[in-house]
């Protein structure tokens, strides 16, 4: 989605798969200690980044040469035009850096949240059933099938309980721990003076854990965002999975739409279960994700909610 929709690249599947493997090496080592020795994580990350940028440069050049037949502007188009509007055409290196940042923002965080969503639906079957009830009440799910033409943006936005589920996943399992800001003018916080020009980091995870508006902060409870409670409405900056202020995440609406579409698909057309005895441990770096992945078995359902038998057991297993 990031490569083809956000960036408008037309990369063949084989090349895309190769770049994805390299990208995973880059992500796994992006927070390595800066020790430049053979076989170190830092060296592997640098090599992966160089390989990625070579592939991206080729894709960018092809994109710049083939601009005909497009009826929309993607994120990379907007980035390029923004530079021109400000009288500074972006260099190829700046385009490669911006492209890599867009891919990281679109992929790593959404993959993290998607996995957290699946894990919570596995742990809380009542939430999954309540979600199915909402889909039926809105005419999206009927006799075990998604009704044709029902997955419109207005229909998806009308699913209030689904919105609560996604909000709660992002509250408990915010993909990234925080963000950075530059101090524009000297200010005081709890008796400490923070000088102009300093870089400061705010913690999303600690904010969610300590915000007084949330009750039972460790409990997965989508209803906290329901109309009767609306815990996120009591004050500013208590709930900020996408950051806050003028530099809030540009892709937040796309990310939430992706997660909602995934939840609808899972609730409507499949049964799924944990493929291991216990749930995996969670690590927080570089984004929230299960150690060694979350192993799940998915079973397709027909219109009568009966399992569709697959040809091989291999088709049942998936790691997310």
* Residue 307 phi, psi (nearest 5): -65, 140
Mean pLDDT of 218-232: 90
End-to-end Cα distance, the chain: 16
Of 86-95, 273-282, 302-311, least confident by mean pLDDT is 302-311
* Residue 274 phi, psi (nearest 5): -70, 135
pLDDT over 80 at 317, yes or no = no
251 — pLDDT class (breaks 50, 70, 90): confident
Q: What span, in angstroms and rounded, lies between the C-alpha atoms of 169 and 8? A: 29
* CB burial readout 141-174, b (16+ within 10 A) else e: beeebbeeebeeeebbeebebbbbbbbbbbbbbb
Q: Which one has a higher pLDDT value, 187 or 65?
A: 187
294 — pLDDT class (breaks 50, 70, 90): very high
Percent of the chain with pLDDT over 70: 92
Mean pLDDT of 110-128: 96
Q: Which one has a higher pLDDT value, 88 or 307?
A: 88
pLDDT over 60 at 83, yes or no = yes
Helix (H, G, I), strand (E, B) or coil at 289: strand
- Per-residue confidence (pLDDT) for residue 150, from 0 to 100: 85
Treating both helix axes as pointing N-terminal to C-terminal, what angle do 41-65 and 92-123 enclose, rounded to 10 degrees?
A: 110
Residue 145 annotated as binding site: no
- pLDDT tens column, 32-79: 888 888 889 999 999 999 999 999 999 999 888 887 767 778 888 888
Largest CA distance in the chain: 67
307 — pLDDT class (breaks 50, 70, 90): low
Q: What span, in angstroms and rounded, lies between the C-alpha atoms of 121 and 115? A: 10
- Per-residue confidence (pLDDT) for residue 182, from 0 to 100: 92
Q: Judging by beta carbons within 10 Å of its beta carbon (0-12, 13-18, 19+), is residue 214 exposed, middle or buried?
A: buried
193 — pLDDT class (breaks 50, 70, 90): very high
What pTM, to 2 d.p., does this model score?
Answer: 0.83
116 — pLDDT class (breaks 50, 70, 90): very high
Percent of the chain with pLDDT over 90: 51
Mean pLDDT of 118-123: 97
CB-CB neighbours of 108 under 10 Å: 21
106 — pLDDT class (breaks 50, 70, 90): confident
Q: What span, in angstroms and rounded, lies between the C-alpha atoms of 86 and 275? A: 53
- Mean pLDDT (the chain) is 88
Mean pLDDT of 133-144: 88
């Amino acid at each position: 989605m990031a490569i083809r929709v956000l960036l408008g690249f037309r990369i063949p599947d084989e090349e895309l798969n190769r770049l994805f493997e390299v990208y995973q090496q880059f992500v796994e080592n992006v927070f390595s200690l800066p020790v430049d020795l053979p076989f170190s994580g830092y060296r592997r990350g640098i090599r992966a980044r160089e390989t990625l940028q070579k592939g991206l440069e080729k894709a960018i050049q092809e994109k710049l040469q083939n601009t005909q037949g497009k009826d929309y502007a993607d994120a990379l188009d907007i980035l390029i035009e923004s530079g021109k509007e400000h009288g500074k055409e972006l260099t190829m290196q700046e385009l490669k850096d911006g492209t890599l940042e867009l891919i990281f923002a679109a992929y790593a965080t959404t993959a993290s949240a998607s996995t957290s969503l699946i894990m919570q639906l596995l742990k809380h079957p009542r939430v999954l059933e309540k979600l199915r009830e909402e889909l039926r009440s809105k005419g999206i799910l009927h006799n075990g099938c998604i009704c044709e033409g029902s997955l419109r943006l207005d229909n998806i936005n009308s699913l209030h309980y689904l919105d609560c589920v996604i909000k709660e996943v992002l509250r408990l399992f915010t993909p990234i721990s925080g963000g950075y800001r530059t101090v524009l003018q000297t200010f005081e916080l709890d008796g400490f003076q923070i000088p102009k020009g300093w870089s400061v980091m705010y913690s999303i995870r600690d904010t969610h854990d300590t915000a007084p508006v949330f009750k039972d902060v460790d409990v997965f409870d989508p209803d906290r965002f329901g109309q009767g409670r609306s815990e996120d409405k009591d004050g500013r900056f208590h709930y900020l999975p996408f950051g806050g202020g003028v530099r809030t995440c540009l892709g937040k609406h796309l990310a939430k739409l992706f997660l909602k579409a995934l939840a609808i698909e899972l609730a409507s057309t499949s049964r799924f279960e944990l493929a291991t005895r216990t749930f995996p441990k969670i690590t927080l770096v570089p984004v929230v994700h299960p150690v060694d992945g979350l192993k799940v078995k998915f079973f397709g359902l027909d219109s009568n909610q009966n399992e569709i038998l697959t040809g091989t057991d291999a088709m049942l297993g998936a790691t997310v």
